[in-house]
Structure 1
């Protein structure tokens, strides 16, 4: 038995001498493994020729496409309540938290793809005791061994490198998607806030109208008592008053829905944000005259365009990953360990055992599985390219439509302002003349109805104007900026590694 162990130790010495040549070969293979990657190399697609925006107005003044203006566009309203609501939404919105969790998942998948390129190292150790009684005596033998084993599939044709490229692109897409959710969230909070303030101002207009028509109704009753007005006049006056009062519930419902929408966007229960919203405020207005000179390549700012482009990069890398399955796989394995009959012998050179082996496997027949897998990835790459093109086109149309909405909402608001001024004068004159008995009640009621309609339209138009601006900033990808990241409120833990 001891003779066999001595022979094993002698062979171990010879094995260590013979390992030198395989190690040189291994080093050569490692160098080769980093040199080749099958499949197409990704190149960003050529975008469409960005035309000058049809509804933009050239200007040398600040524009909504300025980096600072885009990153923190809502602060230009100088509304502390809106600022606080958006900060709270960025901290508590459930959709944003989901996107952040998705980013963490994709980051872990990238780490997994990176780990697939590395060798695996395992360790083991054991101790054994064996007793035998060949005669009247008991013979006890002990043995000890420890072993380190390594296995490594060399990435000779770049399949794993392509997988890592795809994982890196997926991570970048997930990061851009997080910011896409952020852009949509900020715009949604701002729009809900505009809806809320619009409803509050519409209620104020209705309340003022009720007060005015209440006075008219009282005057009409006095005139009836004095024999200067008929019962028909009283009925018409009362009808006009109640008609205005009937409009209150619909506006109050809009106000309640806007409050609840804000609470939902902030991740709160209904009523939980009423204290933050506070008392009635004026509608958000810019503190300067906005110019619409927008650079043609502004669409690159939009995170959804970045998501689509990174998805195309990932799909391209997966084509190469699939093509690598056609080629042979080389696996290297090695081990080094000790084997001795006593613990004290474990550190003797004669106890050392080592081995190095290599294996190669190549597909010969798989009934077209690899070919079809490549075809699938080719088709998915084509889909990703079409999706990118569609995303860019959709972005162009959204910007153009937002520019139209901003321009026309300003024009409508300005026209209604002139109309309301004239209607106020007409209503004041009609009230004075009716009180003096110079005109019929129907004339006064007509002017009051016209004034209410125009004031309500003006308030709604003011809200539409603010909404159009919010949507313009959203269409331009406002709410984040890689060039102004330091100026942005943090969104959870968005580690860039």
Structure 2
């Protein structure tokens, strides 16, 4: 007993050294100056998404703000069947299994064995030997080596959980962006086909006037060239439509062309350009932004970087503990006899117990170098954390600026398209009456088509800005539920919001 007390007394200063060597926490290691508020670009009286000071909007199911049932269905499907999501789920299961392996190091190890042997030497009669028993061992975690290994595995598992959330957010955003682009392409196709029909009518009038001698063949060829150019635009847009549809199908874990019927164009030409452009889904504007610090906590990529710092911290401590003694207790209990029936006798009982300690004395500086290596890895994770935070701040600010300017730009484009449409109607009437020349009608039609096409593109840009903003704000991921495997129960389409 006295020897044990002396041993503990001698080792207590070492334990104090280990406990005193505590690397900085995550907040200390990666402390940064985060702005108190986002730029005021979205807070103008006319443009504001919501009044300042309003509680921030819950964007857990941000895609429902586009009020498009098919988009909701596609995102729900992608969160279940997308290959990248499934791979991230498998990585999370692997990380949790590794964590369980580290946790098992705290428990004693027990193994059972049994053996039967028959041996013969020279002229000696053969002899039998039977044995059975248990072996047990345990390593007391006095200096915390196993504890730090478990902490690293736990942080790694949490990082994998956050990585899964990041993948889910990215996939949901990509599905939304591809869906919006597909609808925009279908709108542009409808506009192009309407333009082809209008060009055909103009060409017919031109041919009649050429036959009547009111125009020359030059105007006739110009009309035919304009008609052919409009037809060529349709072929290019049809290619873009098919490619966008294929990308969307693969994101949903489906083979190309498998969702063709569901993704058919729903745009009908009514002669009103604005009704045509409404084929691009748009989100509502009643969005109140959370503060920058809150937003950063809602982004899974930042939580991944935080957990990676925790992993590196634990590895540094674990490397330092390797310089201190390692204790081991082991024992065995068994039976050995010459016959199987004699194994139960009192004389066949064997037992042993062993206590050991090992201490690194000379390793050529390997442990010291290992500590330096882990400290350098810690510095890398700190720099990586800072880079992720700066990127997050940039993403939100870029999305806010784009959203503000694209909203204003779209309104201008709509006004221009209205004016171009009125001019085209008047020009066609006057051309049919012979009051204007062919160049005027050709130019007005070209301007009207370009204006409508620009409105469709502008609608796509504005909708995409909202998607990017929702993604930059964290996509509804909840940082207090790192252990969840998916956003929510993805089997329930009504609860398919992003949660971790």
What is the CA–CA distance in structure 2 between the aligned matches of 1:316 and 1:126, rounded to whole Å?
A: 46
TM-score (norm 2): 0.84
What is the CA–CA distance in structure 1 between the aligned matches of 2:179 and 2:172, rounded to whole Å?
A: 11
Report the counterpart of residue 50 of structure 1 in structure 2: 35
1:352 aligns with 2:349: yes
Superposed displacement of residue 331, structure 1? 1.0
1:234 aligns with 2:220: yes
Match of 1:258 among 244, 261, 264: 244
Q: Aligned runs of 1:36-185 on 2, under 5 Å?
A: 38=19, 39-40=21-22, 43-45=25-27, 46-54=31-39, 55-57=41-43, 59-60=50-51, 66-67=57-58, 69=59, 71-127=60-116, 144-185=130-171
Superposed displacement of residue 442, structure 1? 1.1
Report the counterpart of residue 446 of structure 1 in structure 2: 443
Quick check: which has more Rg, 1 or 2? 1
Superposed displacement of residue 277, structure 1? 1.6
Provide the secondary structure at the position in 2 that maps to 1:338: strand
Match of 2:381 among 384, 401, 408: 384
What is the CA–CA distance in structure 2 between the aligned matches of 1:326 and 1:173, rounded to whole Å?
A: 28
Superposed displacement of residue 327, structure 1? 0.5
Moved more, 177-186 or 288-297: 288-297
Superposed displacement of residue 354, structure 1? 2.5
1:290 aligns with 2:286: yes
Report the counterpart of residue 362 of structure 2 in structure 1: 365
Q: Return 5+ residue gaps in structure 2 as ranges.
A: 268-278, 493-498
Give the conservation status (yes or no) of the 8 Å contact 1:64–1:290: no
Match of 2:321 among 319, 324, 329: 324
| Cα distance change of structure 1 residues 200 and 87 upon mapping to structure 2, 3 Å threshold | same
Superposed displacement of residue 392, structure 1? 0.4
What is the CA–CA distance in structure 1 between the aligned matches of 2:382 and 2:126, rounded to whole Å?
A: 73
Give the conservation status (yes or no) of the 8 Å contact 2:180–2:280: yes
| Cα distance change of structure 1 residues 248 and 489 upon mapping to structure 2, 3 Å threshold | farther
What is the CA–CA distance in structure 2 between the aligned matches of 1:131 and 1:441, rounded to whole Å?
A: 116
What is the CA–CA distance in structure 2 between the aligned matches of 1:62 and 1:440, rounded to whole Å?
A: 59
Deviations 1:403-448 (A, max 9, x none): 1111111111111011111111111111111111111111111111
Provide the secondary structure at the position in 2 that maps to 1:360: strand
Deviations 1:11-55 (A, max 9, x none): xxxxxxxxxx79x99xx99xx9xx986542662223432331113
Report the counterpart of residue 271 of structure 2 in structure 1: none
Moved more, 422-431 or 347-356: 347-356
Superposition RMSD in Å: 3.1
What is the CA–CA distance in structure 2 between the aligned matches of 1:73 and 1:161, rounded to whole Å?
A: 41
Provide the secondary structure at the position in 2 that maps to 1:330: strand
What is the CA–CA distance in structure 1 between the aligned matches of 2:490 and 2:24, rounded to whole Å?
A: 32
Give the conservation status (yes or no) of the 8 Å contact 2:117–2:128: yes
Provide the secondary structure at the position in 1 that maps to 2:261: helix
| Cα distance change of structure 1 residues 487 and 265 upon mapping to structure 2, 3 Å threshold | closer
Superposed displacement of residue 338, structure 1? 3.2
Superposed displacement of residue 473, structure 1? 0.9
Superposed displacement of residue 254, structure 1? 1.2
What is the CA–CA distance in structure 1 between the aligned matches of 2:489 and 2:115, rounded to whole Å?
A: 56
Moved more, 274-283 or 403-412: 274-283
Match of 1:216 among 178, 184, 202: 202
Deviations 1:334-391 (A, max 9, x none): 1222345665654455543332211111111111100000000000001001100110
What is the CA–CA distance in structure 2 between the aligned matches of 1:415 and 1:431, rounded to whole Å?
A: 24
Deviations 1:157-207 (A, max 9, x none): 111110100000000000100111111111111111111111100010111
Report the counterpart of residue 463 of structure 1 in structure 2: 460
Superposed displacement of residue 140, structure 1? 8.3
Deviations 1:451-490 (A, max 9, x none): 1111111111011111111111111121533579898343
What is the CA–CA distance in structure 1 between the aligned matches of 2:450 and 2:119, rounded to whole Å?
A: 103
| Cα distance change of structure 1 residues 63 and 285 upon mapping to structure 2, 3 Å threshold | farther
Moved more, 393-402 or 349-358: 349-358
Give the conservation status (yes or no) of the 8 Å contact 2:477–2:487: no
